[in-house]
Amino acid sequence: MHKFAAVMRIDIISAVPELLESPLNHSIIRRAREKGLVEIHIVNLHDYGKGSYKQIDDYGFGGDAGMVIKPEPLYRAITDLTSQREYDHVIYTSPDGEMLDQGMCNSLSTCGNLIILCGHYKGIDHRIREHLITKEISIGSYVLSGGELAACVICDSIIRLLSGAITCEPSPRSSSFQDEMVATAIYTRPADFMGWKVPEVLLSGNPKLIRQWQEEQALERTKRLRPDLLD
């Protein structure tokens, strides 16, 4: 196994850490962790809860229905981390945050240490957002039941960009959106599947023609599927 110096550390604070287990322990993320490219630490918010019940939530002021995560456990969990090392960002996953896109992923992939706080229930006490959170990220214009899936999306989209994380591709930067284009159509064997044929040019063995076809394909697919990227 290769040995790389750990270049990134991500601490994820969650009230439901079980939701993070599988996505962060398989495939490219698992291999990146094994290679030492990234350390991921899961912090269970309940460990910072109040009293013998380890309470982390309470009724919201103002009469709105729903539970809100209390400031004390959030404060203790975040400051426990920030007292040990410096962080580039203390991220909160929220539907009203800045929309995650490839540019933001590229920029986050250059960070050293990140905290990602997963929201839950109705949300977190606003004072923590005002005083401790440095960046709020949304993964789309819809509401999830918690921030854990969003945290996994953020981790996946940045870890795959770390140098050495994807060994079979020349560079993860050749994927969709990296050049503000949708990826070209891709195929594998068999060349003829139930009469559905792979485009002839891909079987030609002519790298120049293939590259040209792939670029045309990417442009045509971008115009059709994501014209906003060309604006």
List residues binding ligand ADE (CB under 6 A): 93-95, 119, 138-140, 142-144, 147, 150
Structure tokens at 173: 């930067």
Smallest distance, ligand ADE to C-beta of residue 14, A: 12
Cβ pair 70, 58 in contact under 8 A: yes
Choose between 120 and 222: whose C-beta lies nearer to ligand ADE. 120
Choose between 150 and 161: whose C-beta lies nearer to ligand ADE. 150
Smallest distance, ligand ADE to C-beta of residue 179, A: 25
Neighbours of 68 (CB within 10 A): 20
Smallest distance, ligand ADE to C-beta of residue 120, A: 8
The strand pairing partners of 191, in sequence order, are none
Neighbours of 114 (CB within 10 A): 22
Choose between 142 and 196: whose C-beta lies nearer to ligand ADE. 142
Choose between 96 and 169: whose C-beta lies nearer to ligand ADE. 96
CA distance linking residue 5 with residue 95, whole number of Å? 34
Q: What are phi and psi of 52, to 5 degrees?
A: -70, -20
Smallest distance, ligand ADE to C-beta of residue 12, A: 13
Smallest distance, ligand ADE to C-beta of residue 149, A: 8
Q: What is the DSSP letter of 50?
A: B
List, in sequence order, the alpha helices (H) in 160-206: none
**Conformational region of residue 52, where left means phi above 0, alpha means psi within -120 to 50, and beta covers everything else:** alpha
Neighbours of 93 (CB within 10 A): 27
Smallest distance, ligand ADE to C-beta of residue 143, A: 5
Choose between 107 and 171: whose C-beta lies nearer to ligand ADE. 107
Choose between 133 and 166: whose C-beta lies nearer to ligand ADE. 133
Cβ pair 102, 127 in contact under 8 A: no
